[in-house]
Amino acid sequence: MYRKQLEQAFCRKISGELTIFRYEVLQGEKEAIYEAAYQIDSIISIYELLVEMSSRLSTETLEAAVMFPNILTFLYREWLGYEDSYTADIQYCLDKELAKLRRDYRDMKEENIV
């Protein structure tokens, strides 16, 4: 019973933090919201992952997380210090797609379409 309540408390806490984050972001100008796109997307992703992880986190971890103030913002700041493969993943996509564009363009040139 305690375990289930703890999970619910954790999910309510981070949901509340996300609501406050969203509210604060929406107080800014439109340009500022646009510029904050990476932060917004990361914080939403961190929130969604934490909800998904909540049922398999240890009781002690859940207790620690419930006690920790502004855990979403804290984890976002820590995340900025980690390596990620995002640029390499987009690079791979662009290499593939530009190669396709070149092939299509070559075909059209050969058929005198361009």
Rounded to whole angstroms, the Cα distance separating 96 from 90 reads 10
Closest contact distance (angstroms) between CB of 36 and a second copy is 8
Residue pair 74/19 in contact (Cβ under 8 Å)? The answer is: no
Closest contact distance (angstroms) between CB of 27 and a second copy is 9
DSSP single-letter state for residue 56 = G
| Dihedral angle of Cα 96, 98, 99, 101, to the nearest 10 degrees | 130
Closest contact distance (angstroms) between CB of 5 and a second copy is 18
Structure tokens at 27: 């107080």
Residues that bind a second copy (CB under 8 A): 22, 25-26, 30-31, 33-34, 36-38, 40-42, 44-46, 49-50, 53, 57-58, 60-61, 63-65, 67-68, 75, 78-79, 82-87, 89-94, 97-99, 101-102, 104-106, 114
